[in-house]
Amino acid sequence: MGIAAFSTKLMSGQRQVETSTVVCPTGAITTAGDIHATMTSALLVGGTEEVDVAVLLGDTTAIVAQKIAAALNLNADFLADFVATYNGVTVITTTILPAANEAGQNLALAVDTAVGMTAAPTSANTIAGIAYTEIARAGNFSGPGLSVDMIDVTAHDSVGAFEEVIPTILRTGELRMEINYEPDHATHDATTGILYRYLQSMLGPYQLRWPDAGHTEYSFDAYVTSFDPSEPHAGKVSAPVAFKISGVPTLTDVWV
C-alpha cells in the first residue's frame, strides 16, 4: 500500500548573512594587541557573544579578517547558531538555519589594545533571512535522482570471471518540479523567489516535505539550474524548474 502524492511541498528559506569589513588605514596592524568581535542576535543566549582576537604587528587587513573568523568559530555559543567565514578583508557570519530576517543582528569589530585598525560597530545585512516558505502553485515533482558511481575492480582471479565493482561517489542528481507560474509571486519572482536564486547563482536551503503519516522530510542545499516558462496561446502559464543538490542531504528529517 502506498500514499497519495497530493500535498507534497517544497519549502525554501534563506540564511541571514551579515558582513563586516576590516579597515586598517595603513594596511596592517601597527602595534600588537587585542581586538574584539561582538555578535549580537536574539539567537544567542543573553543576546551577545564577544570574542577576543589577538593580532600581531604587521598583520595585514586580510590576516586580521581571517583571525576574526577563526576566533568566532572557536566559540561554542556562536557556533551553535552561526558560522563565520572571510573573503579578503570581509568577515562574514551566516546563520545555520533559515529564519525570518533579524533587524538587530550585528557583528561589531572594536579595538582594545591593538593599534592600526579602525572600529567597525555596524555590520551590513548582506542577505536577508527568510523563514521556510512553501513554493506556491507546485504541480508535479520528480527526484531527487539519487545514484551511486561504481568502479570496476574485476581482476584476473575474480571468481567465475564475473565482474566485481565498488561504490564511489554518491550522486544527488536533481529535484524537478513544475509550477503554475505567477511572475509576481514572492516565491517565483526575481526579487525573492526561484528566479532570484537562479539569477544570483545562489546556493539555498530547501525542504521536501512528504505527505506520509510520519511527516518525512528531505533537507538539502541546492542551486536552481533551470527555469523554463511556457506560455501557450490556450492554456496555463507554467514553468518546469530544476534544483541541483550540493553537499550532503538529510533524508531522515521530520517536519512539524
C-alpha cell at 36: 574584539
Domain(s) of CATH 2.60.40: residues in the chain:
17-128
> Which residue type does 51 have?
V
- What is the reported pLDDT for 235? 87
Partners of 208 in beta bridges? 10, 218
Q: Mean pLDDT, the chain, as a whole number?
A: 95
Cβ–Cβ < 8 Å for 204, 197: yes
Please, which pLDDT band fits residue 27 given cuts at 50, 70 and 90?
very high
Torsion sign over Cα 193, 198, 200, 206: positive
Coil vs helix vs strand at 8: coil
- What is the reported pLDDT for 3? 79
- What is the reported pLDDT for 49? 95
- What is the reported pLDDT for 57? 97
Task: Report the pLDDT averaged over residues 54-60.
Answer: 97
Please, which pLDDT band fits residue 30 given cuts at 50, 70 and 90?
very high
- DSSP state letters, 83-150: EEEEETTEEEEEESS--S--TT-EEEEEESS-BS-B-B---EEEE--EEEEEPSSEEEEE----EEEE
Residue environment code for 241-252, b if the CB has 16+ CB neighbours within 10 A, otherwise e? bbbbbeeebeee
> CA separation (Å) from 247 to 170, 205, 220?
10, 11, 8
Domain(s) of CATH 2.30.110: residues in the chain:
133-254
Q: What is the pLDDT of residues 117-153, one digit of tens each?
A: 999 999 999 999 999 999 999 999 998 999 999 999 9
Task: Report the pLDDT averaged over residues 14-37.
Answer: 97
> CA separation (Å) from 197 to 137, 172, 177, 225?
18, 19, 15, 9
Task: Report the pLDDT averaged over residues 66-86.
Answer: 97
Please, which pLDDT band fits residue 256 given cuts at 50, 70 and 90?
confident
Please, which pLDDT band fits residue 186 given cuts at 50, 70 and 90?
very high
Q: What is the pLDDT of residues 192-251, one digit of tens each?
A: 999 999 999 999 999 999 999 999 999 999 999 999 999 998 889 999 999 999 999 999
Length of the chain: 256
Please, which pLDDT band fits residue 1 given cuts at 50, 70 and 90?
low
- Enumerate residues 6+ apart whose C-beta is below 8 A from 95: 15, 16, 17, 43, 81, 82, 129
- State the architecture of 17-128 in CATH terms: Sandwich (2.60)
- What is the reported pLDDT for 164? 96
Task: Report the pLDDT averaged over residues 66-85.
Answer: 97
Cβ–Cβ < 8 Å for 59, 40: no
C-alpha cell at 225: 539550474
Output the CATH code of domain 133-254.
2.30.110
Q: What is the pLDDT of residues 38-56, one digit of tens each?
A: 999 999 999 999 999 999 9
- Enumerate residues 6+ apart whose C-beta is below 8 A from 187: 12, 133, 134, 135, 136, 193, 194
Partners of 175 in beta bridges? 243
